[in-house]
Structure 1
């Protein structure tokens, strides 16, 4: 709701799956934002009713809360933000009662500290009925931002707008009177592993045995000795050369390729290939110049490598309700996740998950109360075999849902499922409790 010849760098894929449990409800469940909630803060707000209402601006107080799905991100991570207006400063400006589900809120969250800017957030068209001149109900809006700097990043509620679609399309914009509003939440970002910006291009995608191919590189360490080498699948061939990177980290060198089995060319710093200090492989084909016998025709085809990807059958799961005073297992099933490994290399993959605390009107249900029983199936013909993770607690630290092993040749298509169970304490206050399960493929 992130692998001899070292393992090639794996591409990371992340997905958010909202998980909701309806606990101890006698009537309808309240929708509450998922994630690690910050502190409720009050701030002066200036709201302008629609002109048709004929009312002057409203100066009041807004109570709001900022929640995030990850309070300890790494630079490069995407953080999901939920801005909840607990008590709006404005009321329904008309005598006309407003029916349910006609309000669409939008707004901004202000970032400060190590990273500045605004996060645009928006909410669904969903609300309880509002009587004439009645108080607008609480509403939530979500958005995301990418962490670009390490350190403490503060989040404060910003301006918001209430749009109503009933008979007329009307807006009630509300601005923070004295920005920024008080800080509601803080996330502390840490440095990520340095990004490898090394890259190579070839002067030609193919050549005859013994031909020289030009290799151009960028992003390498200035002054470093760079090895150029042929690759046959995942193994390095005997065709190598060296070049020195210039002051800007760029180079242009030549490599003579003799091995007819060559499928690509790499460039790397150090004594052996490293995905952290290398680039490639760039596809290269050695032409087979063996003469074709009289009366024969030579047929050639190419198989292109693909990517590692993940998709899921849905982004929300409703777990079964439990009774107040009894509690117990609130059960459900993870939406099926499909993993497609079409890279054709030696690296396997791992699908992991971690969950936030479940928040609701009565507080929290600890993330450690969620457990799963993984299952994994491999599509017939796949080179790799999928292995399900161990049954047990998911929690905030995470657990493995499924994986495949490194091998000389990997790939395939896989489906991953899991039974979910949230252990709800017996006297959890009635209401709807939600958490966010983040799945990461690497």
Structure 2
């Protein structure tokens, strides 16, 4: 019967149903065929979202939207351009640096691609950068967002495992910056090779003014991390603090967030949060069926039957997650696969914090893996370039990301050093 569930889900995906509806419809078909009382659906859906830490997700989504609509994106881009614009390929480097700074505000790769790409891709094309390269840089750098804290995906991973949100946030910091720096290095190499343009060096006064413009926005990330790690408030309380802070900064400091625009942001955030909660509810029902049908045990026995070597098992998991990440939304993939694969990883002695970072990094890389990577499609749409051209230009960036993934997989301390330093 598990085959019926999976086949129905696959058919729905191929028919381009939204992921949440694909999960819900496949579960409904399974329950009807099995003769299970349908009261199970609302019960399991509600239990999936009745988790205190999940209340932080609407808050972080709203805080990010408030800062974005308050003019943050342009200020971050301008500041990064002042810092690195004088280097060959400076605008491309500023694109990646902006993603690294913007990461703590948006927390999602797709929103990073859309927000920064809508500004940077046209600007890079205007200055003479190849359009496919501009799109590839934007899509690839957006994967840094959910790795550098705070991250909605990490909150969900913590919810699924019972791990500390603060530890997961810290665990993603070094891998996230390592990925960003690696992308910066490759971009600089290509920019010198192709002789992309550079800007005049900015004065210290311009850099200082740019820092002041972005300071209040970036301080929000510091407040969130210090508050959670220092035990001042829970992740849910941190999200509310972030919303209040974003409102004050947008209304009274940047002054681009009017009351009317704030209402639009609230409504958009409510829609996004509601859609995400429905997805989480259906995914919990889907996971319940998988567990009752003993799929986790089957997958574990198959993988461990192939090999019980830690590195071979991690290689197989990496390949599976990258493949899934190419066509499935990150949070849905986490909800469905993460609990199953975590048991396999624990069986070969992998630390759960370390594995959480590996899994999330895999799914982020999947978003830029051709031919179905979602971020590639978003960037291609903004740049008005074919998906084939963006995929070809993005392939070297994909290889760089895979090297970073290999390092994070093989060197646990890249993920575990900061949590051990500050929270053990």
Higher strand share: 1
Bigger radius of gyration among the two: 1
TM over 0.5, yes or no? Answer: no
TM-score range, shorter chain: under 0.3
Normalising by structure 1, report the TM-score: 0.23
Answer 1 or 2: higher relative contact order, Cα 8 Å, separation at least 6: 2
TM, length-normalised to structure 2: 0.24
